[in-house]
Amino acid sequence: MRGFLLGIALVAAGPVAAERVALDGFSIDRWEVTVGAFAKFAERTGLVTEAEKTGGGFEWGAGWERRPGWSYTAPQGAPASEKEPAVHVSWDEAQAFCRDAGGRLPTGEEWARAAYTEQRAAPPAGFEQGRTYPYPVGDQPDGMNNNRQHHVEVATTRQGVNGLYDMGANVWEWLADRRGEDALTAGGSWWYGPSATRIEGMQWKPASFYAVYVGFRCVYE
């Protein structure tokens, strides 16, 4: 077994495995794919990520800088909790995880419907069925993990539209949409301000890219 799995507490409780939310036409992970879930996938399939092969993932400094030893197991150089979102993962690696789980990466249109348009028949106070909100947490950007120093464990910030966590901030999420060598990402991250979490904040990034700011979640037919 990989040394990483031996170095963290494998607890049964808590948001490690996927929990799916059923929407109109598809279901989506309630939270971002976790380190614990991705580590089990990598162990079972023999995957060694590009970040691991090349000596480390990227962070923005004086331009994009490789950080030695940074990978999904150690996103900022220190061992990760299994409940943190898996980052330093490329588009192909994220898609491979989702396919293995019986799903795929969401399209931009699917992700936007899930993130901004409330579909629950009886949503809790603060949300209204059928309404489209400017932020994934509602009318105001309060409660998201913005403008911070690092991401946080999944399902620990404010629960948003459709009962989903961290569709806004925490980490960018890979989407299925491709434009040549680039792939679309959505949601912003802990390093960005609230404007990046709006639908117009989606960004194209090289699909081969892997960085401390980018993770993913899956959808299922």
Nearest to 101 by CA among 48, 37, 154, 51: 37
Please report the pLDDT score of residue 9 as a whole number: 33
Low-confidence residues of the chain, pLDDT below 50? 1-13
d(CA 5, CA 20): 25
List alpha helices for the chain, DSSP H: 3-6, 35-45, 50-53, 91-100, 108-116
Alpha-carbon Rg for the chain, nearest whole angstrom, is 16
d(CA 217, CA 167): 9
Q: How far is CA 128 from the centre of its chain?
A: 25
Nearest to 152 by CA among 58, 8, 15: 15
Please report the pLDDT score of residue 92 as a whole number: 98
Nearest to 213 by CA among 203, 124, 221: 203
Question: What is the token pair recorded at 89?
Answer: 């993962």
d(CA 16, CA 55): 26
Please report the pLDDT score of residue 7 as a whole number: 33
Statement: the pTM of the whole predicted model exceeds 0.85: yes
Residue 94 dihedral angles phi and psi, to the nearest 5°: -65, -45
Please report the pLDDT score of residue 14 as a whole number: 63
Map out the domains of the chain as residue ranges: 22-220
Under 8 Å between Cβ of 191 and 215: no
Question: What is the token pair recorded at 177?
Answer: 């949409």
Nearest to 93 by CA among 32, 42, 26, 56: 42
Domain range 22-220, CATH architecture? Alpha-Beta Complex (3.90)
| 59 C-beta neighbours (distance < 10 Å), count | 18
Please report the pLDDT score of residue 174 as a whole number: 98
Crossing angle (nearest 10°) for helices 91-100 and 35-45: 80
